[in-house]
Amino acid sequence: MTMKGLKRIDSNRIEVPRGYGTGMRTKGIIYADKALEEMLEQKAVNQVANVASLPGIVGNALAMPDIHTGYGFTIGGVAAFDGDDGIVSPGGVGYDINCGVRLMRTNLDRRETIPRIKDLIEELYREIPTGVGSKGALPLDTREQRNVLTGGARWVVERGFGDSEDLENTESGGCLDGADPESISKKAYERGRAQLGTLGSGNHFTEIQWVDEIYDESVARTLGLFEGQVTAMIHTGSRGFGHQVCTDYLKVMQQAANKYGIELPDRELACAPIKSPEAAAYLSAMKSAANYAWANRQLIMNRVEESFMRVFKTGPGSIGMTLIYDVAHNIAKIEEHVIEGQKKKLVVHRKGATRAFCPNHPDLPDRYKAIGQPVIIPGDMGRASYVLVGTEKAMEDSFGSTCHGAGRVMSRHQAIKNAKGRAIWREMEDKGIIVRATGRNTLAEEMPEAYKDVSAVVNVVHKAGLSRKVARLRPLGVIKG
């Protein structure tokens, strides 16, 4: 539906004018072509306008083409706030702190993998705990848990589950400095104690894929990708630990907004001034949850590699599994960006949005400096996922950000209703995709038509210049919670 008051800027961008919502300090920009514009939710557009009213916002309030309604901020939302006079808001990060994606390459090709894909999916399903409340094989005492919160993926690698190259190929080296275990509640510790190395539920997955199309041969070579190659993707976050951190600090931020006289268009946008003790405590706790998530994905990667070796009855050298990149898409980070010709420290909130830094950015590993940051965009379990790279245009227009996935077009309840009487697992198998899931309704909730077509979403950010397509990956098999 085309909404009254919105203005189309060009074929890939829509403006939410300052007068669209009360108190807007800047305009909103939604990345969408005409087809995706028809899928816009009124509430999600209102959320973009609401974010534009928050104090200290710099530039525009942004929404990527996978936009859909979220808590406070829209999912697919990006907003930056002044590092001195701005705010931080848990609603701009979300409940699943550092939900993100990890992509691994292998030496295997599709032809030799297809005969063993059923066995491989069964092995992954046995090895990686999935579903609500799932427990990992590495329960932590309080001391070890605190070390995970401050060490992130480094802690996992130090225990022999990976190597230093994994850390180089992970955003922020798999660990944010400044995490303070004292900022974490007892309940959050309890929820996170047994969940390290678990996938969780909902849209989280481990997927085996193959490279079916390459758009940029040179960049693909740098990433170690070739046509027909088998890859593995992990999509999960900080589990119940991060959810509890968000829950705890939403209460703190609601009190802080009242304390500092911040007028909120929506109480879900509860926030605190960046220089306040409440903001410092939240950022410290958020970093702890982010580090937990990086440790979680690092540990799951080890399980994936072991599963491959058992099924193919060979060693790690033959499988050749190495990490291409791991990137967060639910996080707030203090970054430097050029605003009106001047470098400025900003608090960049990305909620359902992926970092997409340009070539030669100092935060990139040396191997990727010439091509830009790898960007990993998962789709639904029946269609495709994409590998892209970041661009200078993203630095100029979106604080180095792009989309994070396909974006839902159907609620979970509606998807379950629409799937009644259908065998989604059989439909997937008829397409040559083997699926396993723990939750009774998971496959119905996650059926492909519950999502936008990820190719349409990726084409918008590619044409808008926020990231550049490198390769398309097709699913062979997936495990879900």
Active site amino acids: 404
The counts of H helices and E strands in the chain are 17, 19
Q: Please give the angle made by the CA atoms of 366, 369 and 370, to the nearest 5 degrees.
A: 125
Side-chain-side CA neighbours of 387 within 13 Å: the count stands at 37
In the chain, helix, strand, coil percent, each to 5? 40, 25, 35
Question: What b/e sequence results for 142-172 when a residue is b if at least 16 CB atoms lie within 10 Å of its CB, and e otherwise?
Answer: eebbbbbbbbbbbbbbebebbeeebbbbbbb
What is the C-alpha separation between 279 and 273, in angstroms, rounded? 6
Q: Are residues 24 and 18 in contact, defined by beta-carbon separation less than 8 angstroms?
A: yes
For residue 398, count other CB atoms closer than 10 A to its CB.
28
What is the C-alpha separation between 196 and 210, in angstroms, rounded? 28
DSSP state of 130: B
3-state secondary structure of 270: coil
Q: Which residues does 448 contact at the CB level (< 8 Å), separation at least 6?
A: 380, 381, 382, 383
Q: Are residues 216 and 468 in contact, defined by beta-carbon separation less than 8 angstroms?
A: yes
Q: Please give the angle made by the CA atoms of 167, 172 and 178, to the nearest 5 degrees.
A: 115
CA distances to 201, 320, 379, 387 from 384, rounded to whole Å, are 20, 23, 5, 10
What is the C-alpha separation between 112 and 133, in angstroms, rounded? 35
Amino acid at 343: K
